[in-house]
Amino acid sequence: MLKIYGVYQSRASRNYWMALELGLAFESIPVIQARRLDEPLAEDAPINTRSPDFLAINPNGHIPTIDDDGLVLWESIAINLYLARKHGGPVGAQSIAEEGQMLNWSFWAVNEIEPHSVEIVLTFDNGLQETPGGREKIAVASRLLRKPLAILEQHLGNRDWLVGDRFTVADLNVAEIIRYAWEVPTLFEPCPRVRDWYLRCHERPAFKAMWETRSREG
């Protein structure tokens, strides 16, 4: 059985959403981020990213990680692309050309959007959005996101989804990366197609099921 290591309130959310889209049975192993604990190596500490048992699986000490019947992978986007390739269906590629497009959009989002969207979400997560330094970080990240969001807006000009005429792993991967910037609604005012596409992604039953579980985490 597929094992997913990581709490839902982490990048593991991408992999939980993907597994639900594919209808896969999986075991969730709630490894938490060591930074959330005062003493991550204490004897009574919950399993976390510095626990020896977890480091034996992923020496990087990051979540998510999967173990799929002995195959261990630890990059969230690679995990989703692997699951789409293995299990197929409408979420996966129907041709080599579609697979190329899915890889293209996924890695484009990792390189062009995620470095800046993460700056935004971390600023909010740390409660710094109203401080001078926090406002500056958000302003810089927002400025750097305008170009990639405009590219995405243009691509969505005559289509509902990124690849083909259906929701695929590319939509899931890119939407999860854009989610980090959603705290700044003014970013999306010039990009109504991106906004509408993002909301369509979040209407997926699998996303709602993932988010419900995520919301119950402490």
Q: What is the pLDDT of residues 73-87, one digit of tens each?
A: 999 999 999 999 999
- Above pLDDT 70, what percent of the chain? 100
Q: Is 214 exposed, middle or buried (0-12, 13-18, 19+ CB in 10 A)?
A: middle
Degrees to nearest 5, angle at CA 120 with 119 and 121 = 100
Q: What is the mean pLDDT of residues 165-191?
A: 97
pLDDT of residue 110: 98
pLDDT of residue 189: 96
From-to residues of CATH 3.40.30.10 in the chain: 2-87
Q: What is the mean pLDDT of residues 117-121?
A: 97
* pLDDT higher than threshold 80 for residue 43: yes
* pLDDT higher than threshold 90 for residue 134: yes
Q: What is the mean pLDDT of residues 53-64?
A: 97
Q: In the predicted model, what is the mean pLDDT of the chain? A: 96
Cα-based distances in Å from 78 to 1, 54, 146, 183, 203? 19, 19, 26, 26, 24
166: confidence class by pLDDT, cuts 50, 70, 90? very high
CB 93, CB 84: distance < 8 Å: yes
From-to residues of CATH 1.20.1050.10 in the chain: 96-207
51: confidence class by pLDDT, cuts 50, 70, 90? very high
pLDDT of residue 212: 97
Degrees to nearest 5, angle at CA 216 with 17 and 110 = 35
CB 59, CB 6: distance < 8 Å: no
207: confidence class by pLDDT, cuts 50, 70, 90? very high
* pLDDT higher than threshold 80 for residue 218: no
205: confidence class by pLDDT, cuts 50, 70, 90? very high
Q: What is the mean pLDDT of residues 98-127?
A: 97
Q: What is the mean pLDDT of residues 5-17?
A: 97
CATH class for the region spanning 2-87: alpha beta
User: Which of helix, strand or coil describes residue 163?
Assistant: coil
Domain 96-207 has CATH 3.90.700.10: no
pLDDT of residue 97: 98
* pLDDT higher than threshold 80 for residue 100: yes
User: Which of helix, strand or coil describes residue 107?
Assistant: helix
Question: Which of 25-34, 36-45, 57-66, 197-206 shows the lowest per-residue confidence on average (mean pLDDT)?
Answer: 36-45
Cβ atoms within 10 A of the Cβ of 25, count?
A: 7
